[in-house]
Amino acid sequence: MNVTHDMSVLSLITGASLLVQLVMSGLLLCSLFSWYYIFVKIFTYRRATQQSEKFEKDFWSGGDLNELFQRAVNARDTAGTMERLFESGYREFTKLRKQSGQNIGVVMDGTRRAMRATYQREMEGLESHLSFLASVGSVSPYVGLFGTVWGIMNSFRGLAQVAQATLGTVAPGIAEALIATAMGLFAAIPAVVAYNRFAGDLNRLATKFDSFMEEFSNILQRQS
């Protein structure tokens, strides 16, 4: 008597054990969230780069700093990171300059602290959800491997109850288990690639912001 098994992916998933199905469901959710954050970060870093380039062009065009500051205040909700750094630094600089008895060292220290505090807040926003991508990229293969090991173990336990084991009886159970590994890799690979790409983008933006803060501080110090 010949027994045929439906070897389609959907049938293998629905025929897997409950624990393996839970592993697959968890990996699928991780993959969906990863792709969501990937697209969010693509637009976030692209917008941050464009805003920084635009503000740098306006800043180095030689315009009046007071006018540039007023524009930054008016566009606070839509301003980029570099524009917020400029606003916080120039606000603190003008406030400390108006106080009598403040020497230039104290004024510049306060200006740098104000910009550094804004920098930390902005970088926290840019770094958000990167840790999730890193976790998915590093953990998903092992979670998928756990589902595979569990599924193969159940398959061999089932073979103990069969008088004659054939490839047809072994193949479905092993195929079900291997799908968990495939789903783990499917979730991990895009997350790892995206994390490495975004980490590089973040480092470039951080370097650009650090350079701007130093150059802006030097400009303010010369004006003082």
25 assigned to some structural domain = yes
pLDDT value at residue 106 = 87
Give the H or E element holding residue 5: none
Tokens matching residue 197: 């790409």
**Is 116 a domain residue?**
yes
Write the CA distances from 209 to 46, 116, 118, 137, integer angstroms. Answer: 15, 10, 11, 28
What is the block-wise mean pLDDT of the chain (224 residues), using blocks of 10 residues?
52 70 89 95 94 90 86 84 93 85 83 94 93 94 88 73 61 75 92 95 94 92 79
What does the CA dihedral 69, 70, 76, 79 come to, rounded to 10 degrees? -50
Residue 4 lies in a domain: no
In a domain, 99, yes or no: yes
Burial string for 161-173 (b: 16+ CB within 10 Å, else e) reads eeeeeeeeebebb
- State the pLDDT at residue 16: 65
Give how many domains the chain has, as a whole number. 1
2 assigned to some structural domain: no
pTM: 0.82
Which domain covers residue 168, as residue numbers? 9-223
